Chain A
Amino acid sequence: MSLELRELYQEVILDHNRRPRNRGKLEEPTGFAEGHNPLCGDNIKVYLHTNEGRVAEVSFEGSGCAISTASASLMTEAIKGKTLEEVEAVFREFQSMVTATGEAEEHPDLGDLEVFGGVREYPVRIKCATLPWHTLKAALQGEEEKVSTE
């Protein structure tokens, strides 16, 4: 197996794919959105409870590849308890990490999310990693329209 492939499918990602955290539906969510990647058929629903500008509860449902499933799972862990501004900042840094060209940089602020750094070597898989985040953003903004990566 090549180094790039090992970087892409790190053990943390494989583990979150096998046992996704915060998977399921939230009753009476304050925010909800659906995301879809027509290229690979990935579908995701994000449920939110926000309270005084903070993410109190977050969960997801859907079917997708290992990258999108693990990304959704790790995303829910990363944003729970954070303010909306903090969530926005994490999303921005996450996106800049997976779309970066050139030398890999350290992203200590991202914590566990740094395991997605290997995605940048696989341009067609970037959308898999970012779909949960775009869907989360739509849920936060209360957008009705289904999010699409295309």
Chain B
Amino acid sequence: MKTLTKKILDIDAVRADFPILATRVNGHPLVYLDNGASSQKPTAVIDATDVYWKETNANVHRGVHHLSQKATQQFDKARESVRVFLNARSSKEVIFTAGCTAGINLVAQSWGRASLKPGDEILISTMEHHSNIVPWQLIAEQTGASVKVIPITDAGEIELDVYEALLSGKTKMVGLVHVSNSLGTINPVKQMIESAHRVGAKVLIDGAQAAPHMRVDVQDLDADFYSVSCHKMYAPTGVGVLYGKQALLEAMPPYQGGGDMIHTVSFERTTYAELPYKFEAGTPNIAGVVGLGATIEYLAHLGDQLLDAPEGDLATRLDACFGWIHQRESELTAYGTAALGEVSGLKITGTAANKAGILAFTLDCAHPHDIGTVLDNEGIAVRTGHHCCMPLMRRLGVPATTRASLGLYNTKQEIDRLVSGVRRVKEMFE
């Protein structure tokens, strides 16, 4: 039940939660518009990891001593928070990884080796990040399966009719990005998953750019696998989450062998631990996971301030927070698209009807690298290049783009500074 009111958060107070935003770069207040690459961290998260190192640090799941139990408790609590965050049925379906890429490789290798054979097909889209292309190419090479590509329109939307036509009994896996890191396109993954399931294919969703911007519900999507990068959603680097349906994960062989992932080991025969530990060989990034738990709590805390009854459960609090984030970022995206659109010679890359938080563009008189250098001179951080999407850049016919990617703390004033920076680039290079 949603009790979201029309209350709006004080953005200055929210920004004050992120200490790095007060930094000056090249004599200017920092304008951080590279959230798609990595987001900044609130004090609550920085402090939580700091306190972990100072007061809790010990290995999880093996010690009987006080600190190990305390660390294990915090680690398990974070897993339960992630379960709510993604709306997984069980925390057994929540596997901690090193990042979104690691999660995709886990599925490609573990599921792929057991399930793919010559003649099978893996479908991916033109707008995939290299991390949702290369793992599939590797497993295809190893198993004799082939990778097929779903085309996109000039606006940057998946050609759904071609997708439907590509699906067949041969299709065993569909790898899809939920939100494109280069275009901002929000793909209709729920509908696409339904179609894939009709031919018996499994679907892995790359959620790296979705989780920071929208409430993800893996049950509603009916995703088989969903991989998340936590440092892009205000948590520390080096942590990712892989969601997988329990029955699939149980049937899959372990990906890496080692400590923590076993039940018993002998030189004759080893039995494996239950989920999720079967897929978590070795000591995990405990401090990172504790930080992730603090991030989810921080987002929920933002939600509290939007709710009439702040004592709601975690899911309700996150609903409120993401309702606010979505509204705020949509407004800023529309504002930025309009303002950049007024700059002559500028072309927005990715004009899908349904977009999240990405303003990518090319300028006819200047190369993205030069744009990035000039903007940096004014304290504005953007990403320039191919954004790990070389096949997409080829499809769009550009060598590279300049990308401003939004976070929950960005403001209209910052978009204004971006636009005047771009105008300065034009004055220089025209």
Binding site for B on A (CB under 8 A): 1-2, 4-5, 8-9, 14, 17-18, 39-43, 63-67, 69, 122, 125, 128
Contacts and interface: CB of A to CB of B under 8 A. Distances in A.
Given A14-B428, A41-B399, A66 B377 contact: no
A65 B369 contact: yes
Given A4-B377, A42-B369, 14 more contacts: A5-B377, A9-B374, A9-B428, A39-B385, A40-B399, A41-B385, A41-B399, A41-B400, A43-B399, A63-B367, A63-B399, A65-B367, A65-B369, A65-B370
Contacts of B26: 2
Contacts of B367: 40, 63-66, 69
26 contacts: A1-B377, A1-B424, A2-B377, A5-B377, A9-B370, A9-B374, A18-B429, A39-B385, A40-B367, A40-B369, A40-B385, A41-B385, A41-B393, A41-B399, A42-B369, A63-B367, A64-B399, A65-B367, A65-B368, A65-B370, A66-B429, A67-B369, A69-B367, A122-B373, A125-B369, A125-B373
B88 to A, nearest CB: 37
B131 to A, nearest CB: 16
A8 B366 CA distance: 15
B384 interface: yes
B386 interface: yes
B27 A2 contact: yes
Contact of A14 (B368, B385, B429): B429
Contacts of A39: 385
A73 to B, nearest CB: 14
A40 B377 contact: no
Contacts of A42: 369, 399
A64 B369 CA distance: 9
Contacts of B370: 9, 65-67
A11 B384 CA distance: 23
A5 B373 contact: yes
A8 B377 CA distance: 11
A9 B27 CA distance: 19
A66 B386 CA distance: 17
Nearest to B384: A40
Nearest to B377: A5
Contacts of A18: 429
A4 B377 CA distance: 9
Contact of A41 (B373, B374, B377, B386): B386
A8 to B, nearest CB: 7
A39 B393 CA distance: 13
A5 B400 contact: no
Nearest to A64: B367
B399 A5 contact: no
A2 B378 CA distance: 9
8 residue pairs, one from A and one from B, having the closest CB atoms: A65-B367, A41-B399, A65-B369, A41-B400, A5-B377, A40-B369, A66-B370, A65-B370
B430 to A, nearest CB: 8
Contacts of B429: 14, 17-18, 66
A2 to B, nearest CB: 6
A1 to B, nearest CB: 7
Contacts of B386: 41
Nearest to A63: B399
Contact of B373 (A8, A14, A17): A8
A14 B385 CA distance: 21
Interface in B398-427: 399-400, 424
- Which of A4, A39, A40 gathers the greatest number of chain B CB atoms within 10 Å? A40
Interface string B360-384: 0000001111100110010000001
Contacts of B369: 40, 42, 65, 67, 125, 128
- Which of B27, B377, B424 gathers the greatest number of chain A CB atoms within 10 Å? B377
A61 to B, nearest CB: 13
A66 B374 CA distance: 12
A126 B369 CA distance: 12
B374 A40 contact: no
Contacts of A43: 399
A128 B372 CA distance: 14
Nearest to B367: A65
A15 to B, nearest CB: 11
B129 to A, nearest CB: 15
Contacts of B368: 40, 65
Contacts of B366: 66
Interface in B1-51: 26-27
B362 to A, nearest CB: 12
A41 B373 CA distance: 16
A53 to B, nearest CB: 35
Contacts of A2: 26-27, 377
Contacts of A8: 373
A14 B26 CA distance: 22
Nearest to B393: A41
A49 B109 CA distance: 51
Contacts of A125: 369, 373
Nearest to A128: B369
- Which of A9, A41, A128 gathers the greatest number of chain B CB atoms within 10 Å? A41
A85 to B, nearest CB: 33
Nearest to B427: A1
A36 to B, nearest CB: 10
A146 to B, nearest CB: 15
